[in-house]
Amino acid sequence: MNDLTIKPELSIVHGYSILFIPIHKKTIHIECAVNNGFITESKKTAGVNHLLEHVLSESWKGCKGNCYKLWNNIGVDMNAMTTNTVLKYYTSGLEEDTEIMLNYIIDIMEKPIFTEKIIRNEKKAVINELLEDKTTSDLNDFFNQHFYILEGLKNADNNDLQIKNLKHLSLKDLKQVFLEYYNKNNIVFVVSGQYNKKEVLKLFHSKLKKYSVSKHNPQYCFSNKNDILFLKKKTKGFSNIMFGFPCTLQYNHPQYLIIPTITLILKDLLFNYLRTDKNLIYSVDVSSDQTICGTVVYIEVGTQDENVKNVIQHTFYRLNELKHKAISEDEIESIKKKYKFKSYSSNIKPSLISNFFIEQYLNQIYMSKPKFYSVEDIMYKVNKLNKSIFKSIMNTLFDFTKCLCVYHSNKDLNVKINDFISV
């Protein structure tokens, strides 16, 4: 089968969803993703999911007290991560190790062994990570505090608070989160790569239990604060500016899946304008975050202190231009070609394709029947892009009345958002 046309086959075992993605490359990637994350935490429990992620990764009886050592000896990659809306646990290795990898992933979801010793050890590991990450997270933390209305999302990068909470979070707290969210309605398993589907399904059937629980549904997460905020930076010279544009665009929107492509285009368009034409910036990054909260486009710019005001002004100016005056046909054609080139030249690995479909699955978890799109399906949509679709997407994504902008700089400019968006 052509890799670009791959779509997952969905199997339901005792109510659990399992995505099978056949890629014949001798390797296998087994993952489970949980529809939870910082989003459900309170001020008191901020950081509990990250700790639980670490504890679960170590709570398999087969590890005999050291999972890292076990996987290292076998030659399997194992890792886990916590984000705002998803927790992921995965193993990647050779096809011959399928059984042990499957047993591990299913058991830590079904019957993890929580011990005080594991919790003590993992608290230390998490605190270390948070301390290491502290210097880079100041701007993100300040931004989140203003950008979100849910406590958990506000504090996703509040490392000080999380370190404080880790001291009192107990085994009971971890079990409570586990019981509430780690269930068949919130978990999706993925088996991607080369495998014997019949054998794998047999194992899932024998290990997964039946039990029923409530589902965690999407909710609106954004504060819609419309402001420009200053965060003091001690050093002079270099400033960072961060814009966030939230909107309610969800999976059922016809252009949902091409938003990441649109952000790539925007990155080029903004770079050309701010760097090449105006000589104002060093770097610009445009990214999107598409979760059950909705869609956010982030723009991050690095510039010299004296350019901050100009950069903010010209960014809004250019975005406004793109909302009202369409880009040219030539530009649209070059976007399509770039995207095609990127897709054809990408190396489709079991782990990457697993991520690609987990995201699709979790973003429609509240709908009754999941619908999946292959890389080629998305190419087809990109190919249909024209001037009017582009303009309409720009208007959906960039509602200036909901935009938050934060600049991390040495000097407070005393500016207001209305100075810029009334253009």
Contacts of 220 (CB under 8 A, 6+ apart): 149, 248, 293, 294
Q: Which is nearer to Zn ion, 77 or 129 (CB)?
A: 129
Minimum separation from the CB atom of position 27 to Zn ion (A): 25
Backbone torsions φ then ψ of 28, nearest 5 degrees: -140, 145
What minimum distance in Å lies between the beta carbon of 173 and Zn ion?
17
Provide, rounded to whole angstroms, the least separation between the CB of residue 80 and Zn ion: 7
Closest CB to Zn ion among residues 97, 122: 122
H/E segment holding residue 139: helix 116-147
Tokens 């965690």, residue located: 216
H/E element, 183: none
Nearer to Zn ion, 51 or 417 (CB): 51
For the chain, the straight-line distance linking the first and the last C-alpha, in angstroms and rounded, comes to: 52
In angstroms, what is the minimal distance from the CB of 177 to Zn ion?
A: 16
Comparison of 107 and 129: residue with beta carbon closer to Zn ion: 129
Between 129 and 289, CB nearer to Zn ion:
129
What is the closest distance, in whole angstroms, from the C-beta atom of residue 126 to Zn ion in the complex? 6
Dist CA 372 CA 354 (whole Å):
12
Rounded least distance, CB 86 to Zn ion, Å: 14
* Cβ-proximal residues to 374 (8 Å cutoff; 6+ apart), any chain: 4, 5, 6, 7
Nearer to Zn ion, 129 or 321 (CB): 129
The packing angle between helices 48-57 and 116-147, to 10°, is 140
Phi/psi region, residue 193 (left: phi>0; alpha: psi -120 to 50; beta: rest), is left
112 or 218, CB closer to Zn ion? 112
Nearest distance in Å: CB 152, Zn ion: 16
Fill in the amino acid letter for 281. I
State which residue has the least CB distance to Zn ion: 129
Binding-residue pattern over the window 349 to 368 for Zn ion, x denoting contact by CB under 5 A: --------------------
Burial of 357 (0-12, 13-18, 19+ CB in 10 A): buried
**Phi, psi (5° rounding) for residue 156?**
-60, -30
Q: How far is the CB of 50 from Zn ion (least distance, A)?
A: 6
Least distance (Å) from Zn ion to the CB of residue 78? 13
Residues numbered 75 to 104 that lie near Zn ion (CB under 5 A) are none
Give the nearer residue to Zn ion in terms of CB position, either 110 or 132.
132
**Which CB atom, from 158 or from 192, has the smaller least distance to Zn ion?**
158
**C-beta of residue 155 within 8 angstroms of C-beta of residue 162:** yes
**β-strand 27-34 against 227-232: which pairing, if any?**
unpaired
Task: Give the shortest CB-209-to-Zn ion separation in angstroms.
Answer: 28
8 versus 37: smaller Cβ distance to Zn ion: 37
Q: How many residues at the interface with Zn ion, by CB under 5 A?
A: 1
Q: Who contacts 403 (Cβ-Cβ below 8 Å, separation ≥6)? A: 226, 243, 244, 245, 417, 421
Site string for Zn ion, 121-150 (x = CB under 5 A): --------x---------------------
Whole-number Å distance between alpha carbons of 169 and 119: 9
Q: 412-417 contacts: CB < 8 A, separation 24 or more?
A: 412/230, 412/232, 413/230, 413/308, 413/309, 415/228, 415/309, 415/312, 416/228, 417/226, 417/227, 417/228
Question: Residues with Cβ < 8 Å from 136, sequence gap 6 or more?
Answer: none
The residue ranges that bind Zn ion (CB under 5 A) are 129
